[in-house]
Structure 1
Amino acid sequence: MNAATHGERGIVSVTGSEMARITISDQGPGISPDVLDQVFEPFFRADRARGQKIPGAGLGLTISREIVRRDGGDIRIANRPGGGLIQIVELPAVLP
């Protein structure tokens, strides 16, 4: 949802064997490196100015990370070289 809302265009790929890897990349503005580590904090919004135009409470990534970690996986986010973000979700391919 974030890639579509903030990133102009999202591209999704799925790979893996023992761990399934879902990669979501977008061509948006990215996130300032000095706040990138905060994206999983509750109520955090990377660009407070967008808060007026795009609804949301800043809980989506917090909740997503909690769900993924409970199933033995993790989520990472980084700025892509050349612009935009890459989000990587890894989950066990077969849940116990």
Structure 2
Amino acid sequence: MIVLTSLVVLAVGFWLVFALIGAVLKLVFGIIGGVFSLVGSILGAVIGGVVMLVVAPVVALALLPVLLPVAFLALIVWAIARSSRRPDVVVMPASHR
């Protein structure tokens, strides 16, 4: 019985040591993976921002023929709305009278 208890205690001890080693490795690799993920996301955002700065003007120029009539219509509506308003009343300060 003592031998069997010693074997069980030894097996449980080994299991606890290996579980502790596994937990430490999982923590370390989780931290390393998180750092790589953070660096990758920041690098992706920077590269994506640079690509957007390069591509956005090209896309804007490509869409210009489509958006020009809409912009012209908006300009006409703005001009009509602006011209139909009453003139603003300017109140002169007492020091300028």
Higher RCO (C-alpha 8 Å, min separation 6)? 1
Which interval holds the TM-score relative to the shorter structure? under 0.3
Q: Whose helix fraction is larger, Structure 1's or Structure 2's?
A: 2
Larger Rg: 2
TM-score (normalizing by structure 1): 0.21
TM-score by length of 2: 0.21
